[in-house]
Structure 1
Amino acid sequence: MNKGLFITATGTDVGKTFVTALIVKKLRDHGIHAGYYKAALSGAQKTGKSLVPGDAKYVCDISGIKDDPQNLVSFIYETAVSPHLAAKIENHPVDKSIILRDFDRLKFKYEYICVEGSGGIICPLRIDTQTIMLTDIIKMLQLDIIIIASSCLGTINETVLTVEYAKKLGINIKGIILNSFNKENFLHVDNKKQIESLTGVSVIGCVAQHACDLDMDLTILTDIFKEV
């Protein structure tokens, strides 16, 4: 039985890759054969003639995945802009059939597969003769999501909007994880309380800045994954 989960965020640079790496590491540390996949990545670093997908490499390095990071991302762009624009600049448009093919390959290779989104939940992957949004990929892969959010000022607005947008599209939300959380910070503590109250979605985890492990019960973590 293989299981999957889509990990999105309230925006860029809130720590989505960092938390994803900790999730995969937690599973693997407990003997679960967990893997990683990302449909599209922009801002890859060029090494020789190859493009290194930084997010995938980071997750592999932290979690101990031995796969080549290039095998874990379907569309890799060097230009550090939104994937739809990078695809246009580099003349390499996203193709949903390739994403589905690669996801199917990896979901059977790994017992649990963490699929990381690009940017926030409203991220265009292709806008030309057709429009492909990140949410189209979530629905195509038939995955539930968790939302990574900041703990800081402004997160209530960003998180509530993200939750409401996902709900409007019929996407099932399994929980919210607050990143860079400080339990001694009254603002962070109140943000957690208000987010749960306003969204009706549980904050299932709080990750401290520079955390080395995910402080979450393994059963809670595995329960948010959906059979794929």
Structure 2
Amino acid sequence: MTHTLFIAGTDTDVGKTVVSKAILQAADKMGMTTIGYKPVAAGCEVTPEGNRNSDALHLQDAANVSVAYDKVNPYALLEPCSPHIAAKLEGVNIDEIVLSNQLQELKQQANFVLVEGAGGWRVPVSDSECLSSWVQQHNLPVILVVGVKLGCLSHAMLTAETIERDGLNIVGWVANRVNPGEKHYREIITMLEQKINAPKLGEIPYMPSVKKRDLSKHIDLTLIL
């Protein structure tokens, strides 16, 4: 059996990749074979091997199953903006069939596949479609990432309500301390614990070079696996 989970953020820059890496590391410690999947990434560097997105590279590095970059990130778009704009600028059509076929292929290679979204829950990938509709098609269980800072309570509650209204199950959430100066951190966590109808899987503390660290101790996957 392959566990497939979707990482959703309350917004962009809330730490989806940091949390994804922590979860992949925790799954590795549990003895699972792991792959990270970033279906769509906007904001890449041009390299001799092709476009490369730093978040997708972190997922590739955190997994314990070796997978080619274009399998981890089939749509690597250059412009750091909404995917539907970035795709338009490059004349690219983000095809949900491609995303689905790639997901199925990855599920054959590992028993834990973590799918990281782009931006917030309703991020558009075309003029008519959002990435969330693809997640709905596959009925993926969702882990919500909350970047703890001023304003995150409203964003978190609205996102959780929308995910549930879309018919999907939030199986857990993770707090990522993106603002070390947030003096009401504990009160915010208490409110999130009351308002999100899912277990808190962990809290990632603020730390320098966070994406280069072993973060597995900050995540408890036994609550959902």
TM-score w.r.t. length of structure 1: 0.88
Contact kept, 8 Å, 1:145 with 1:171, in 2: the verdict is: yes
Inter-partner Cα distance in structure 1 for 2:178 and 2:187: 11
Give 1:144 deviation, angstroms. Answer: 0.9
Cα deviations by residue, 1:78-113 (Å, 9 ceiling, x for unpaired) = 111111111111011111111111010001111110
Q: 1:30 to 1:184 in 2, by over 3 A?
A: farther
- Corresponding residue for 2:151? 154
Inter-partner Cα distance in structure 2 for 1:182 and 1:94: 34
Unaligned 5+ runs, structure 2: none
Unaligned 5+ runs, structure 1: 224-228
What letter is aligned with 2:34? A
- The aligned runs of 1:1-228 (5 Å cut-off) are 1-48=1-48, 50-127=50-127, 131-180=128-177, 187-210=184-207, 212-214=214-216, 215-220=218-223, 222-223=224-225
Inter-partner Cα distance in structure 2 for 1:81 and 1:146: 23
Give 1:219 deviation, angstroms. Answer: 1.7
Cα deviations by residue, 1:95-144 (Å, 9 ceiling, x for unpaired) = 111111101000111111000001010100111xxx22121111122201
Contact kept, 8 Å, 2:149 with 2:182, in 1: the verdict is: no
Give 1:4 deviation, angstroms. Answer: 0.4
What letter is aligned with 1:216? I
Inter-partner Cα distance in structure 2 for 1:202 and 1:2: 21
Inter-partner Cα distance in structure 2 for 1:112 and 1:91: 33
Q: 1:47 to 1:174 in 2, by over 3 A?
A: same
Inter-partner Cα distance in structure 2 for 1:202 and 1:218: 10
Question: SS in structure 2 opposite 1:152?
Answer: coil
Aligned-residue sequence identity (percent) comes to 26
Cα deviations by residue, 1:57-97 (Å, 9 ceiling, x for unpaired) = 11222445532222211211111111111111101111111
Contact kept, 8 Å, 1:147 with 1:176, in 2: the verdict is: yes
Give 1:176 deviation, angstroms. Answer: 1.4
Inter-partner Cα distance in structure 1 for 2:33 and 2:50: 28
Aligned residues: CA RMSD: 2.1
Greater displacement, 134-143 / 100-109 = 134-143
- Corresponding residue for 1:226? none
Contact kept, 8 Å, 2:9 with 2:145, in 1: the verdict is: yes
What letter is aligned with 1:146? I
Inter-partner Cα distance in structure 2 for 1:114 and 1:26: 12
TM-score w.r.t. length of structure 2: 0.89
Q: 1:193 to 1:106 in 2, by over 3 A?
A: same
Contact kept, 8 Å, 1:53 with 1:70, in 2: the verdict is: no
